[in-house]
Amino acid sequence: MNSVPLYEAKAELFRLLGHPVRIRVLELLQDGPMPVRDLLAAIEVEPTGLSQHLAVLRRSGMVTAQRDGSTVVYALAGGDVAELLRAARKLLTQMLTGQHELLAELLKADSR
Amino acid sequence: MNSVPLYEAKAELFRLLGHPVRIRVLELLQDGPMPVRDLLAAIEVEPTGLSQHLAVLRRSGMVTAQRDGSTVVYALAGGDVAELLRAARKLLTQMLTGQHELLAELLKADSR
DNA sequence: TACGTGATTGCGGAAGTTCGCAATTCGTGG
DNA sequence: CCACGAATTGCGAACTTCCGCAATCACGTA
């Protein structure tokens, strides 16, 4: 068991998250389950494209789908996705302010 | 300013992390700056491949490089990468146990 | 049964990623 | 100055991802 090194699994997880549409889907699903129709209305994407991205998330086990009549409702599958997205957001802002500081340094050095 | 939606930036960040070698590099750099030589010894990858992955991380601003004599030393550039990796690890284990529970459910249902 | 709507799947081409080889840069020591 | 080791860059081939079109499946309804 556990034949896949942890860092491989992490890389694969990150690769799964590496698309704007899939990020949007996960963000939207954080507020609770949602039918495809609503996702489609909220995200700028063709129905077929959305289906493909949903399929990726489904295959990876990050979301679950269940039919309710003629519509299909998607939901997060357990894990704490929110925390991961929060950490990503934080890291992004940290990197941006870091660049600002570097820029300020350079400007200061330039004026000397 | 801020012309890129946040979810696009997140997706790009995750895409950057979506490779085993890059994950390993970031993990190793968490214990402090490290010369390329040591990274090369620790990771199973050709020198040229490592350089390319380091270039990706450099361009994205996640790591910094500085020469020290004939070697080049890489370091994390500020942000809290550790937290992101921890969140990823947590989510992975949650997803795995989730699948175990699902499997158990199916087996139970099957035996009825 | 036949039709319409919601959602998915199966392609095919365009675009992007990864990897190794060869060539290049940069610094150190003979 | 020349040769060497460390690291990077340029490039081409193999592979993967992404996107839209057409076809299909699943469900409710006339």
Could you tell me the CATH number of the domain that includes residue B25?
1.10.10.10
Residue B45 inside a domain? The answer is yes
What is the ipTM, given to two decimal places? 0.90
Q: What is the pLDDT of residue B108?
A: 65
Angle (CA) A33-B105-A26 rounded to 5° is: 25
Q: What is the pLDDT of residue B15?
A: 98
Residue B1 inside a domain? The answer is no
Nearest CA in chain B to A6: B89
Q: What is the pLDDT of residue A111?
A: 55
- C1' of D5 to CA of B60 (Å): 28
In chain A the first and final C-alpha atoms are separated, in Å, by 61
Residue A78 CB in 7 A reach of strand D? no
Residue B96 inside a domain? The answer is yes
Question: What total number of domains does chain B contain?
Answer: 1
Q: What tens digit of pLDDT does each residue of A5-19 get?
A: 999 999 999 999 999
Residue A37 CB in 7 A reach of strand C? yes
Residue type (1 letter), B25: V
> Which residue bears the tokens 């990197």?
A95
Residue B67 inside a domain? The answer is yes
> Which ranges constitute the DSSP H helices of chain A?
6-17, 20-29, 36-42, 47-60, 81-111
Residues of the domain holding A40: 6-110
- Taking the C-alpha atoms of residue A54 and residue A72, their distance in angstroms, rounded to an integer, is 11
The closest of B37, B81, B49, B101 to A10, measured between CA atoms, is B81
SS3 B2: coil
Please count the other Cβ atoms lying within 10 Å of the Cβ belonging to residue B69: 7
- Taking the C-alpha atoms of residue A21 and residue A23, their distance in angstroms, rounded to an integer, is 5
Residue B84 inside a domain? The answer is yes
Residue A28 inside a domain? The answer is yes
Give the number of A-B residue pairs with CB atoms closer than 8 Å.
125
Residue A1 inside a domain? The answer is no
